[in-house]
Amino acid sequence: MGHEISGRIKEIFDTQTFPSGFSKREFVITTDDRYPQDIKIDCLKEKESLLEGLKAGDAVKVSFDIRGREYNGRYFVDLSAWKIEAAGAGGEDASVPPSDSNDFVPEDTTDYGGTTSDDIPF
């Protein structure tokens, strides 16, 4: 199941390569919500190329998966990007080759009740 988040890139970190050959590159986006949040997302292995040509301040829409794991009794959560679109580019996907564009994730239209703009976000 995929998720989406929109915002502006705050920071892009250097690629991390591990002895096993595994690599990842992390970045942070700041959401455009009423209460902006800084969200760290990673690009694993070949998905690192999704960040090419992007820089701090760029508006983007990121499609990602949530991954969780347990290690020594502690639990960790990662957000792993699989698609990044430059916002305001006319809906064009600025980073994924056409062969990957068949990924379709339906929009969540669930009504969770009568929240108002005065609700506290936590």
Cβ burial of 31 (10 Å; 0-12, 13-18, 19+) is middle
Q: pLDDT for 44-70, tens place per residue?
A: 988 898 999 899 999 999 999 999 999
Domain coordinates of the chain in residue numbers?
3-89
Q: pLDDT for 80-101, tens place per residue?
A: 999 999 886 544 444 444 444 4
pTM greater than 0.85: no
CATH of domain 3-89: 2.40.50.140
